[in-house]
Structure 1
Amino acid sequence: MGKNVFDYPRTLYPPIQPYKEHRMKVSDVHDLHVEESGNPEGNPVIVVHGGPGGGCEDFYRQFFNPKLYRIIMFDQRGCGKSLPFACLEDNTTWHLVDDMEKIRVLLNVEKWVVFGGSWGSTLSLAYAETHPSRTKALILRGIFTLRRDELLFFYQEGSSWLFPEYFEPFRMMIPEVERGDLMSAYYRRLTGSDEEVKRACADAWTRWEMSTSKLILDEDKIKHGEEGDFALAFARIECHYFVNGGFFKEEGQLIKNAHLLKDIPAVIVQGRYDVVCPAKSAYDLHKSYPGSVLRIIPDSGHSVSEPGTMSALVEACDQFATL
């Protein structure tokens, strides 16, 4: 990664391993992978990964002081180490909110800090607005509220003007007659019976997001999107959620209900040049969320691993470590 003009003071804590792992059956269909690391007596934090369908990565543990935090991570339905793989049955926002509550009860947590980015911010907000009494604080990054305009900006027209050479392969995967609604066209293929087409569309869908996630293009990030099984779960589950409007009752529900969070402190970290989840959503949320602090990082895109975003998140985690 190239040298940044801004000097960011914080980096990740050293790598750690889980001290306990759980296999949790949350329905007749789904088993979740849940893990705990850090201090078993520490301040509980639940890590909500992106996608939907992205799964947790080991380095997520490193945002938290392991002496002060009890770090709880889980792979959401259908992805990561959870089973069945890439399954869309009984897989909605509200199933996942219920899963988080089941994890909280299983692990005997009264209240916890909720940490999530991108789709993880969506699910974190949905959880906190449903269970405000169980949420100590919110640490959110790359705000995504799953409004229709947000989806169209990235998957139909908007980011395409900034990354045309990466959007073209995504667009060309779909016949011209269907290009007026690319998400629906992809969904038909990702849920169809032709395995070769399904895999090709999953690769194209995932490669588009990985190509646009950082301010400075990262070839390793793009290659991650080309890993077949990861791409299949990521694309299928994302598209499933997006064509169904996140399974929300009304458009803009998360921002309309942000007043329910008025007693919950929050730090919102947003890359200025995030083209996957543009800054307007973070700004709209901040205006509707009394007590939230918005930090716009001047040289970051969407990725959690960019230096400015990483530094701000570690600082926010430290701020709430003894809450």
Structure 2
Amino acid sequence: MVKLLDHGTLPVSGRHQVYWEMAGNPDGLAALVLHGGPGSGCREGHYDLFDLDRYRVVLMDQRGAGRSRPAAATDVAALQDNTTDDLINDIEVLRAHLEVDKWLVFGGSWGSTLGLLYAQTHRGHVRALVLAGVATTTRRDLAWLYDDVGNLFPEAHDAFCAFVPEAEDVWTRIAAYGDALTDPARAQAAADAWCTWELAIFETDFESVGGNWTDPAFRVGFARLCTHYFRNFCFRGDDAVARGMDRIADVPGVMIHSRFDPSCPLRAPWELAKRWPAARLDVLGGNDHSALSKAMTTRIRAATDGFAHA
């Protein structure tokens, strides 16, 4: 059990309060963890990505996720006033609240998209970026995750599509799931179908993965936030990350990505690396995506250690 330095719930709007906590060395380098999903929430294992003797690590549950309120798992109002720009503003509110000048930002999966967009918006407050399971959340990426990769997993993809048979393509499918997830009579079944697909491409299931995935309420919140963001193309339009890379060309960074990650193809970080001369792309074998898998954690920890000693 990690001993916390502090924690709290910070009002960021008339509707939302975000939960945050902090552990490590109170005089150490500040670091922020941005979780994936959207909707995964932070976990204690995120502290393992840092040397807590050298870092002061802040975890923040994004709007609607984890211990932030309202929770998308139980209240569809959590989807209101919940956009990428809102999340970026929340990070700044938290940074000012904690009196941090600059911090290293870690983001995994969706958190890597959010971390890149935050850095592009607030370049002066980012010391470095460490990103894992890198996602840029473009139309091409979303089409891959919720349609094209079905060519490798046709049984699971047919079941995923069958829940919303009225959908004509990947975009109407995501929207149809989003509608079902806000219908109290269908929300749990829709969440279970959505999350079953999320895990099927890793050839696993709720019980095998364990943790939050076994909690039906978590699955509802996760799926609601995913469909809310993805049906709206993350409220930034296509290629938003790529368009802003010139703003952070000199920000030191490390991207860690598995060659056979079925959810986020290697092409995304490969293209980013061409636009980001100050960053290094570290390619793993295998299909690990989660920052908390053993292989990912080892490489991420090496990257954060490197910045601590720089």
Q: TM-score, normalised by structure 1?
A: 0.89
Q: How many residues align?
A: 302
2:2 to 13, 16, 25: 16
Shift of 1:295: 0.6
C-alpha distance in 2 between matches for 1:242 and 1:29? 22
C-alpha distance in 1 between matches for 2:101 and 2:299? 27
- Any idea what SS the aligned residue of 1:153 has? helix
Shift of 1:277: 1.0
Which runs of structure 2 are paired with 1:146-185 in the superposition (5 Å)?
Answer: 146-156=137-147, 158-175=148-165, 177-180=166-169, 181-185=172-176
C-alpha distance in 2 between matches for 1:224 and 1:43? 30
1:208 to 179, 197, 200: 197
1:97 to 66, 77, 88: 88
Greater Cα shift, 199-208 or 81-90: 199-208
1:26-69 per-residue CA deviation (whole Å, 9 max, x = no partner) reads 00000111101011110000000001111001110111101100
Shift of 1:308: 2.5
Q: Which residue does 1:228 correspond to in 2?
A: 216
- Any idea what SS the aligned residue of 1:71 has? strand
Q: Which residue does 1:59 correspond to in 2?
A: 45
Shift of 1:289: 1.1
C-alpha distance in 1 between matches for 2:283 and 2:118? 24
1:246-286 per-residue CA deviation (whole Å, 9 max, x = no partner) reads 111x4201012111112210000001111111111111111
Shift of 1:71: 0.5
- Any idea what SS the aligned residue of 2:261 has? coil
Greater Cα shift, 27-36 or 293-302: 293-302
Shift of 1:101: 0.4
1:76 is aligned to 2:25? no
> Match for 1:99: what amino acid?
D
Q: Is the 8 A contact 2:262 2:287 kept in 1?
A: no
Q: Is the 8 A contact 2:258 2:287 kept in 1?
A: yes
Q: Is the 8 A contact 1:206 1:231 kept in 2?
A: yes
1:90-131 per-residue CA deviation (whole Å, 9 max, x = no partner) reads 000000000000010000000000000100001000100000
Shift of 1:84: 0.4
Q: Which residue does 1:295 correspond to in 2?
A: 282
Q: Is the 8 A contact 2:46 2:292 kept in 1?
A: no
> Match for 1:201: what amino acid?
A
Shift of 1:305: 2.9
In structure 1, stretches of 5+ residues that fail to align are 1-14
C-alpha distance in 1 between matches for 2:27 and 2:211? 39
- Any idea what SS the aligned residue of 1:47 has? strand
Q: Which residue does 1:4 correspond to in 2?
A: none
1:198 is aligned to 2:184? no
- Structure 1 residues 37 and 83, CA, compared in 2 at 3 Å: closer, same or farther? same
C-alpha distance in 1 between matches for 2:213 and 2:180? 18
C-alpha distance in 2 between matches for 1:38 and 1:121? 22
C-alpha distance in 2 between matches for 1:81 and 1:148? 30
Shift of 1:236: 0.6
1:12-33 per-residue CA deviation (whole Å, 9 max, x = no partner) reads xxx5232211110000000111
C-alpha distance in 1 between matches for 2:59 and 2:223? 21
> Match for 1:200: what amino acid?
A
- Structure 1 residues 99 and 322, CA, compared in 2 at 3 Å: closer, same or farther? farther
Give the root-mean-square deviation of aligned CA atoms. Answer: 1.6
Q: Is the 8 A contact 2:260 2:285 kept in 1?
A: yes
1:135-193 per-residue CA deviation (whole Å, 9 max, x = no partner) reads 0000001111111111011112x211222232232111112x324231121112123xx
Shift of 1:226: 4.3
In structure 2, stretches of 5+ residues that fail to align are 73-77
C-alpha distance in 2 between matches for 1:293 and 1:61? 23
Shift of 1:223: 7.3
Q: Is the 8 A contact 2:108 2:290 kept in 1?
A: no
